[in-house]
């Protein structure tokens, strides 16, 4: 995820200071991986240097004064370009799991055990996301669905690989 573009998008709603941006980010996008304050201020500094935001005042606070930031026209253009650019699909052609299966076969270990262990971990994660989805709002449900669909695809791969272990073993030990 592009933190810079996300912060710019949040600034389109109006000027904010770093603390407010962090809180808004964490509420909408950072439930599983909240931002650190250092990330927010380092990103704002870079956006300021690149002319995508500008300082729009200072708010006194309980501690140091808080600078407010506003998005510039260049920042709005940058967000529009980013939103219109499709994300490259993850292709998983260098899968750690595949590597583990092949190395297990090559070294005489149980590749079936590797697959079973991974299957158990995927099923545990699926139960966690399913529970979270039931109690979540629409945004959280969509995030959980995304994760669940990827886990389901991985499970299909695990089953297919388990069914082909004998043939794969012959190829990698030849």
Tens of pLDDT, residues 16-59: 999 999 999 998 887 778 899 999 999 999 999 999 999 998 87
Q: Within this chain, do residues 79 and 126 fall inside the same structural domain, yes or no?
A: no
* Number of domains observed in the structure of the chain: 2
Q: How many CB atoms sit inside 10 A of residue 151's CB?
A: 16
CA distance 63 to 68: 15
* Domain final residue pick, 27, 57, 84: 84
Name the percent of the chain lying above pLDDT 90: 72
Mean of all residue pLDDT scores within the chain: 90
**Do 142 and 77 fall within a single domain?**
no
For residues 173 and 16, the model is more confident at: 16
Q: How are the residues of the chain apportioned to helix, strand and coil, as percentages rounded to the nearest 5? A: 65, 10, 25
Q: What span, in angstroms and rounded, lies between the C-alpha atoms of 22 and 122?
A: 31
Same domain, 10 and 56: yes
Q: Is residue 123 part of a domain?
A: yes
How large is the average pLDDT for residues 66-85? 93
**pLDDT(90) > 90:** no
Specify whether 34 is located in the same domain as 73: yes
Q: Which of 17, 104, 114 is nearest to 59 (CA)?
A: 17
- Asked if 73 and 7 sit in the same domain, the reply is yes
Average confidence (pLDDT) over 157-166 = 94
Mean pLDDT of 156-169: 94
Residue 151 has pLDDT above 70, yes or no: yes
Return the closest-CA partner of residue 55 out of 11, 13, 24: 11
Of 60 and 172, the one with more pLDDT: 172
Do 9 and 77 fall into the same domain? yes
pLDDT at 64: 72
* Structural domain harbouring 153: 96-172
pTM reported for the whole predicted model: 0.69
Residue 126 to residue 124: CA distance in whole angstroms: 5
Token pair for 36:
């650190």
Last residue of a domain, one of 24, 52, 84: 84
Backbone angles phi, psi at 36, to 5 degrees: -90, 150
Same domain, yes or no: 137 and 76: no
User: Is 89 part of a structural domain of the chain?
Assistant: no
User: Can you tell me the distance from the alpha carbon of 135 to that of 122, in angstroms, rounded to the nearest whole number?
Assistant: 20
Residue 24 lies in a domain: yes
Select the more confidently predicted residue: 92 or 74. Answer: 74
Give backbone dihedrals phi and psi of 129, rounded to 5 degrees, phi first: -65, -35
Give the whole-angstrom CA distance, residue 102 versus residue 88: 27
Q: Same domain for 103 and 133?
A: yes
Closest Cα to residue 70, out of 60, 56, 80, 59?
A: 56
106 shares its domain with 165? yes
* Residues 102-122: tens digit of each pLDDT: 999 988 899 999 999 999 999
Mean pLDDT confidence for 52-78 = 88
Q: Where are the alpha helices (DSSP H) in 12-164?
A: 18-28, 37-49, 73-84, 96-106, 111-135, 138-163
Is residue 144 a contact partner of residue 130, using CB atoms and an 8 Å limit? Answer: yes
Reduced to 3 states (helix: H, G, I; strand: E, B; else coil), residue 70 is strand
């Amino acid at each position: 995820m592009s933190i810079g573009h996300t912060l710019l998008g949040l600034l389109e709603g109006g000027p904010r200071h770093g603390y407010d941006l962090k809180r808004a980010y964490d509420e909408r996008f950072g439930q599983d991986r909240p931002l650190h304050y250092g990330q927010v201020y380092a990103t704002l500094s870079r956006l300021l240097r690149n002319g995508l935001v500008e300082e729009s005042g200072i708010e006194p606070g309980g501690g140091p004064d808080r600078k407010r930031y506003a998005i510039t026209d260049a920042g709005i253009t940058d967000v529009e370009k980013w939103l219109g650019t499709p994300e490259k699909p993850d292709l998983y052609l260098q899968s750690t799991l595949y590597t583990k299966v092949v190395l297990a076969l090559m070294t005489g270990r149980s590749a079936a055990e590797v697959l079973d262990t991974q299957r158990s971990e995927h099923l545990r994660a699926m139960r966690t996301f399913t529970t979270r989805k039931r109690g979540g709002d629409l945004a959280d449900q969509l995030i959980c669905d995304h994760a669940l669909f990827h886990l389901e695809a991985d499970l299909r791969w695990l089953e297919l690989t388990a069914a082909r272990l004998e043939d794969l073993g012959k190829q990698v030990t030849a």
